Amino acid sequence: MPINQVQPEAVEFDVHTDEMLINMGPQHPSTHGVLRLVLRTDGEVVTEVTPHIGYLHRCAEKIGEHLSPRQFLPYTDRLDYLSAMNMNLGWSLTVEKLLGLKVSEKTRHLRVIMAELGRIASHLVAAGCYGLDLGSFTPFTWTFRDREKILNLFEAACGARLTCSYITVGGVTADLPPGWLSQCEQFLTEFAPVVDELHAVLTSNAVFVRRTAGVGVLPAATAIDYGCTGPVLRGCGVAWDLRRDGDPFYTEMYDGYQFEVIAQTEGRYPQDHPYPPVPAAACLGDSWHRFYVRMLEVVESMELVRQAMAKYAAAAGEVDKPIPLKKKLPQGEVYLETEAPKGQMGFMVKSDGSPIPSRVRIRSSSFCNLSVASELCRGVLVADVPAIIGSLDLVLGEIDR
């Protein structure tokens, strides 16, 4: 399906030179890991982009067929390693659905806190690295500074910063330590003004807008055809968020929470927020919108964390302990998708009755989001390739699995 590229500048180049094939990656500063893109270029104009993946393939799915679900949990940390909490959650929920297990209220709210903090952390990396892709170094250091604070919170909760394995099958590994909620509250208070600063140096920065608005325009139909999800889909104006629209087994985790799906529908974004208006040059589905959706979701997630902390503090009882390591799984097959920061993260578990699943499959959001890259990068300039790839917010850990 041809995409109508809004690229008035790119069209001006009608001088043709020899075609050149260039490898962008797997060692390249802006391919976010070990993605390899083969660019076919005509001068500065890119005529074709072919992604090559597999440099980080670690047989995660196959390993899942040799370990019990709780033993596999640390491997899910390494799928989308920037939001390990959300990966843990997706896997745990899938196995719990197979087991028919319901966690306690307190555990549910604790999981929401962790999942939304994970979302903030992931979006912060996405925003910072996107600035880096566009040549702006400073926001990167700011976002990583605040991500560190989230990682400190994770460390206080479970001892690990990046590969948490905290949310686990049946519950969480341990309850929060005393004083954790006030630390989290302090983080949210400190972080709120930083969002405005990020809007100032990125979202509403004139150069940033010039580099992203109208670049890599993805029509909603194409996004759906390619299976794009998460902020990439919502950036096209499709209000689809599994926290609201997903499997009931997942959405009931968010029962009683007030939140809106961040997507521009009917010409406006849902919240009445004090954030920068959409620039005139931006059109729905471009890189700017994808970035903006993430920035708004950060604020949304902060609000969700606040709600969850109140509910967690009010909930009675204990948090649930994990299931036994080698608990027998019932026969059957379950597929569950959750709303990870980068899109829909799906796990499939099939069991023949033993403690070890007979089949594990993973549907990763970045993989589908990457598949649209070759459509988006047709006829753009070389400098637009990092701008488009960066706006898709890819993590190779979950693409290659």
Which residues are near another protein by CB under 8 A? 9-10, 12-13, 20, 22, 28-30, 44, 131-138, 141-142, 145, 201-202, 205, 207-208, 210-211, 381-386
Minimum separation from the CB atom of position 354 to another protein (A)? 49
Query: What's the rounded Cα separation, in Å, for the pair 318 and 303?
Result: 24
Q: Which CB atom, from 29 or from 177, has the smaller least distance to another protein?
A: 29
* Phi-psi group of 379: left, alpha or beta (phi > 0 → left; psi -120 to 50 → alpha; rest → beta): left
Minimum separation from the CB atom of position 132 to another protein (A)? 6
Minimum separation from the CB atom of position 31 to another protein (A)? 10
Pairing between β-strand 167-168 and β-strand 36-42 as defined by DSSP bridges: unpaired
Q: Which CB atom, from 157 or from 209, has the smaller least distance to another protein?
A: 209
Token pair 């701008």 is at which residue? 387
Q: Which CB atom, from 208 or from 250, has the smaller least distance to another protein?
A: 208
- How far CA 30 is from CA of 75, 335, 388, 393, 397, in Å, comes to 25, 33, 11, 11, 16
Minimum separation from the CB atom of position 385 to another protein (A)? 7
Q: Which CB atom, from 216 or from 346, has the smaller least distance to another protein?
A: 216
Q: Which residues of 177-215 are buried (b: 16+ CB within 10 A; e: fewer)?
A: eeeeeebbeebbeebeebbeebbeebbebeebbebbbbb
Minimum separation from the CB atom of position 372 to another protein (A)? 20
Minimum separation from the CB atom of position 133 to another protein (A)? 5
Query: What's the rounded Cα separation, in Å, for the pair 291 and 297?
Result: 10
Q: Which CB atom, from 138 or from 186, has the smaller least distance to another protein?
A: 138
Q: Which CB atom, from 134 or from 233, has the smaller least distance to another protein?
A: 134
Minimum separation from the CB atom of position 94 to another protein (A)? 37
Minimum separation from the CB atom of position 106 to another protein (A)? 36
Q: Which CB atom, from 230 or from 386, has the smaller least distance to another protein?
A: 386
Minimum separation from the CB atom of position 198 to another protein (A)? 13
Q: Which CB atom, from 47 or from 141, has the smaller least distance to another protein?
A: 141
Token pair 């702006």 is at which residue? 136
Minimum separation from the CB atom of position 130 to another protein (A)? 10
Minimum separation from the CB atom of position 57 to another protein (A)? 24
Q: Which CB atom, from 263 or from 389, has the smaller least distance to another protein?
A: 389
Q: Which CB atom, from 25 or from 357, has the smaller least distance to another protein?
A: 25
Q: Which CB atom, from 164 or from 282, has the smaller least distance to another protein?
A: 282
